Structure 1
Amino acid sequence: MKLNFTLRIALLSAALGIPGTAFAQAQPLPELDAEESGEAVTETRRTSGGQQVTITPYIEASQVLTAQLEPTSDVVTYTSVAAGVDANIQGRNSAASASIRYERRFGWDGLDDSDIVTGIARAGIAIVPRTLTLEAGGLASRTSVEGNGGSFQGNFAGSDDRTSQVYSAYIGPSLTTMVGDLNVAASYRFGYTRLEAPDAVVFTPGVTEPVDIFDESTQHTASARIGFAPNTVLPIGVGVGGGFNQQDTSNLDQRIRDVWARGDVTIPVSRTLALVGGVGYEDVEVSYRDAQRDPVTNDPIIGPDGRYVVDSASPRIIAYEADGLIWDAGVMWRPSSRTSFQARVGRRYGSTTYYGSLSYAASQRSNLSIGVYDGLTSFGGGLNDTLAQLPDNFQAFRNPITGNIGGCVASLEGSNCIAGALGSVRSAAYRNRGVAISYGMDFGRTQAGIGAGYDRRKFIAAPGTVLAAADGVIDENYWVGLYASHALDRRSGINANAYVNWFDTGFDSDADGMGYSASMSYFRNITGGLTGTAAVGLDGITQESVPDVVSASALLGLRYSF
């Protein structure tokens, strides 16, 4: 179960979600300083209650040419027609941001037509102001699934059969209130994640077994805490709480169940520094069922989607269990409203754990975030947890060629990427450790960001099942990238983004891979709500024992914003 304060800030990359302007993708032009623009670039409505509302529905049409440079030469073109909406609502007690897009692609010269839905949304709606809030969010993205279990995003000629659609969403209430000097907090969240099966994957030579590609999962997460702050009831702060997390994955009927309770204490050392720690009890278990077997050969049966068919009548087999004492201790430092740091070390999941975070805003226009995380989860749970940590005030940037979001948003409020949750798409549960750093800035007419990260997944599989060989195997993902957007004047601007990520898998030493993407776009407001866009991009996937895939793309398009 991910800890609430774990930061998931990672590379702003297209393969794993680097912000690039959709269409460019007709993102509204970056806001100019008032003295430079002389007029508002986007229409913002403010209600009498101080609520700020920006809603921009649009339709667009574009022509895309993609040339495959490796492993063979091929050129495909398609016409894209899309409709979508970008919205940002910021009120005193409620806030929401969303970018949702439906695209219909019409292929030329034998290229199949396709329908694509992409988007990201996050909302916190006050049911009772400052007390009860309904939290909700969702993500729809496209990714290329490779035979090494990794996923990459890009625009590759003739490779739609390796492309999958990823969906994740959650909803649930959150309560925060005061009862005298006591702080009372409670929350519940239901989440759902699905990865559509690709039509084909490319394996390294000699590998024929299917990758245990994640299918779908549900998640129930609940927690509650009651306590008081330092220098209220006592000179120190004290609290007690507990939580429950269950993730059910359809692959082999996998289940993660984690129940915990703990007490914690905060001991002020100075006005800005405090010692923090806690101790409690946890009971965590990971279990599976086996796959159906051929009665003659005893080989596992594989369904039409390329995944193992679960034997629902087989007994549940324990892959991992740990119960007993958990603890952690560390420091918390908050010298100002712009700086927050904490670091802890302890014991959980039967071994040493460590995690921490740093958030530093040198000004209101920039933010540096660093996070170190450690948890036990699955692909669906990790993606859903990270999505829930996104801020509810963001601007969604999209890849200029594909229109894909991929999981990153532009925000100066800290945790703004789901890159660390995408990497490997294997279904098995895993112990997840990593570190991520990002820096973003917004100076009105110029927005830019850079980030890097490392994500490590040690898989947990049940003995006696078809996935037994995956137990203890490690996948590692490294990423680095940047993005920039600059308004040339009131009517035009340019955007650029680039990324590279390295995927190292312990399942096959010859299957390590690298994905990269770079794009640049120019957009200009022609008249009224009509915007024209020109963009170019380069995408590639390199694996040690599989032919490289490299594609170059170009786009010309028009968008009308209402």
Structure 2
Amino acid sequence: MKRLIVTGAALAAVMAAAPASAQRARITPYIDASQVVAADLNGGDVLTYSTIGAGIDASVQSRRVEVQVSYRYEHRFDYQNKLNNDHTHSGLATVKAKVAPGFSIEAGGIATRTRSDIRGDVQTSNVGNFSNSAQVFSGYIGPNVATHLGPMFVNGAYRFGYTKVEAPGQTGVAPGQPRLDNYDDSKVHVATASVGVKSGTVLPVGITASGAYTREDAGQLDQRFEGKYGRGDVVLPVAQGLAVAGGVGYEQIKITQRDPLRDTAGNPVVDGAGRFKTDPNSPRRIAYDLDGVFWDAGVIWRPSRRTFLEARVGRRYGSMSYTGSLSYQASPGSGIQIGVYDTVQTFGQQLNGQLATLPTALASTTDPFGNQFSGCVYGTTGAAAGGCMNGVFASAATSAYRARGVTAVAVAGRGGTRFGIGGGWARRDFIAPAGGTAFTTNGTSDTSIYAQLFASTDVGPNGALQGSILGSYYNSDIPGNDGIYGWGANTAYTHRFGRLGATLSAGVFGFEREGQSSASAQALLGLRYGF
């Protein structure tokens, strides 16, 4: 499948070569079968169906290679009631390979489901007939260089990313609301470079010069994103582990696209997948054209090897901007990560960027209801707690946007027991060409608030008990939209009989908004055989 080629070749090559030099390697392909029951608690039908799946769990840890892959394909067989979605892909892969001193290659990929329309239903489970949900595939690959020239450090990186979203079914958006476009695909190239000296080597202050170039071409309306910037930064130590920092730069961002083809009534013409058709005679419209200076200043605090804090405030994109990060490793298996971000980007860019920040050692979860890769992802070490994908998957937006938000993840583990908690807030201010006779997202915004809790523990030598609770809120200022709450909880017990494992899981999921609510109780009994 060409949409998985971005990372497939790299993953296969690395995993084929890695076990020979690996200190730890585990590669387990498997097949499974399940029986699923979903009961509509609002007085609807009881849906029963069977599934057959196949997948692979793999982990390679060595001096030079770190790989973690978890992927599963599921096909569903209905009985009386027709299933809207008869198959799903679910998986996450991260790879880091040190090819030579100072030279490495990184790759990653994800297959999961995303909300299609920010105004539509909330699908907190992939069981049964879900709406406002589309299959998404995304991956990236690229080299990194980190070396020294005398007292100077020199860093460089390139990343190619690809994102594909399949056409959604029904979204649950009320009739009469403006039609939004459906995301198709995008290809993005990102190149970065920096050079500088650390404080105390040549000068009392540290100096860094850096730059970046981004180019993205999207399938929808021939959209093009081109951004480039250069900046200089100075770091001045003021006390043990404490420094003040400041930077100034110059950037150019230009986003353009063509118009949708319109019918005689002025409405956009859509294809069989519900996507706007591009008007081949349309000139290229400018959605965003930024050209100017930006700056920021703040503090860097590193009191120990286990704690790092950076907070900055400045002016960028025509208004004040706030960014920062905090990481704290309480123990080898426990830690906290918090990030505050502000950037102009797109759905494809943000998804690729989030993937690149995930750790290569991820906590294994038994979530047969299939939402473990579209929410918070937890690491197994305190030094890399994980990250949350909820803000990205709020909806697969086709327009570019200014993304601002905060995300936080904390993990704790001791022996066979692990806990994880994550949450955050995200806001997207959309950027699109203004004018014309049809609705435009330009100037509109949406907000997401989310929280998630995960826990697992070993039960005897062959059993494991896991559970999760999640909640979310989505709102958009598009006229006629009401905020919507999503919630869910599930638990699963797995018992292993050698290569065969049996899982019993139960959960309840739903959403609420003004004038509408939905709730579903779900249960699953499954068997998995690992080779």
TM-score using structure 1 length? 0.86
1:320 aligns with 2:288: yes
Q: Provide the residue aligned with 2:58 in structure 1.
A: 87
1:301 aligns with 2:291: no
Alignment of 1:413-452 (within 5 A): 413-452=384-423
Secondary structure at the residue paired with 1:386?
helix
Alignment of 1:362-381 (within 5 A): 362-381=330-349
Deviation at 1:298, TM superposition (A): 3.0
Deviation at 1:287, TM superposition (A): 1.8
> 1: distance between equivalents of 2:202 and 2:36?
65
Deviation at 1:49, TM superposition (A): 5.4
Cα pair 2:376 2:422 within 8 Å, conserved: no
Q: Provide the residue aligned with 2:325 in structure 1.
A: 357
1:188 aligns with 2:158: yes
Secondary structure at the residue paired with 2:355?
helix
1:517 aligns with 2:488: yes
1:291 aligns with 2:260: yes
Secondary structure at the residue paired with 2:350?
helix
Alignment of 1:464-543 (within 5 A): 464-465=435-436, 469-525=440-496, 527-543=497-513
> 1: distance between equivalents of 2:437 and 2:333?
51
What amino acid maps onto 1:388 in structure 2? Answer: A
Distance 1:377 1:51, change over 3 A: same
Identity of aligned residues (%): 39
Secondary structure at the residue paired with 1:304?
coil
Q: Select the structure with the greater relative contact order (CA < 8 A; seq sep ≥ 6).
A: 1
Cα pair 2:231 2:248 within 8 Å, conserved: yes
Distance 1:447 1:414, change over 3 A: closer
Deviation at 1:419, TM superposition (A): 2.1
Deviating runs (4+, > 3 A) in structure 1? 46-50, 143-147, 149-153, 155-159, 465-469
**Residue in structure 2 matching 1:264, options 233, 237, 240:** 233
What amino acid maps onto 1:386 in structure 2? Answer: Q
Secondary structure at the residue paired with 2:391?
helix
| Gap regions ≥5 residues in structure 2 | 1-17
Deviation at 1:434, TM superposition (A): 0.6
Q: Provide the residue aligned with 2:358 in structure 1.
A: 390
1:221 aligns with 2:193: no
Alignment of 1:138-217 (within 5 A): 138-146=109-117, 148=119, 152-155=123-126, 157-159=128-130, 162-207=132-177, 209-217=178-186
Cα pair 1:151 1:422 within 8 Å, conserved: no
What amino acid maps onto 1:492 in structure 2? Answer: G
> 1: distance between equivalents of 2:366 and 2:211?
39
**Residue in structure 2 matching 1:348, options 290, 308, 316:** 316
Deviation at 1:421, TM superposition (A): 1.3
Deviation at 1:410, TM superposition (A): 2.2
What amino acid maps onto 2:418 in structure 1? Answer: Q
Deviation at 1:303, TM superposition (A): 1.7
Cα pair 2:499 2:529 within 8 Å, conserved: yes
Distance 1:175 1:137, change over 3 A: same
What amino acid maps onto 2:161 in structure 1? Answer: G
> 1: distance between equivalents of 2:268 and 2:117?
22
Q: Provide the residue aligned with 2:3 in structure 1.
A: none
> 1: distance between equivalents of 2:337 and 2:112?
24
Q: Provide the residue aligned with 2:108 in structure 1.
A: 137
Secondary structure at the residue paired with 1:416?
strand
> 2: distance between equivalents of 1:405 and 1:436?
16
What amino acid maps onto 1:405 in structure 2? Answer: F
Distance 1:349 1:468, change over 3 A: farther
Cα pair 1:142 1:404 within 8 Å, conserved: no
Alignment of 1:51-70 (within 5 A): 51-70=23-42
- CA deviation map 1:20-77 (0-9, x unaligned): xxxxxxxxxxxxxxxxxxxxxxxxxx9795622122222111111111223x411111
Cα pair 1:204 1:511 within 8 Å, conserved: no
1:234 aligns with 2:203: yes
Deviation at 1:83, TM superposition (A): 1.4
**Residue in structure 2 matching 1:249, options 204, 211, 218:** 218
Cα pair 2:123 2:510 within 8 Å, conserved: no
> 2: distance between equivalents of 1:466 and 1:93?
57
Distance 1:549 1:147, change over 3 A: farther
Deviation at 1:93, TM superposition (A): 2.4
| Gap regions ≥5 residues in structure 1 | 1-45
- CA deviation map 1:316-364 (0-9, x unaligned): 1112211121211111110011100000111222222110011111211
Deviation at 1:292, TM superposition (A): 0.8
- CA deviation map 1:389-446 (0-9, x unaligned): 1112223435233375325432130443322211132211111111122211111211
Cα pair 1:188 1:220 within 8 Å, conserved: yes
> 1: distance between equivalents of 2:283 and 2:175?
35
> 2: distance between equivalents of 1:126 and 1:151?
41
Q: Provide the residue aligned with 1:117 in structure 2.
A: 89
Deviation at 1:509, TM superposition (A): 4.7
* Higher share in strand: 2
Which shifted more, 265-274 or 393-402? 393-402
Q: Provide the residue aligned with 2:307 in structure 1.
A: 339
> 2: distance between equivalents of 1:250 and 1:535?
40
Distance 1:68 1:139, change over 3 A: same
CA RMSD of aligned residues (A): 2.1
**Residue in structure 2 matching 1:409, options 370, 377, 386:** 377
Equivalent residue pairs, number = 510
- CA deviation map 1:2-33 (0-9, x unaligned): xxxxxxxxxxxxxxxxxxxxxxxxxxxxxxxx
What amino acid maps onto 2:337 in structure 1? Answer: S
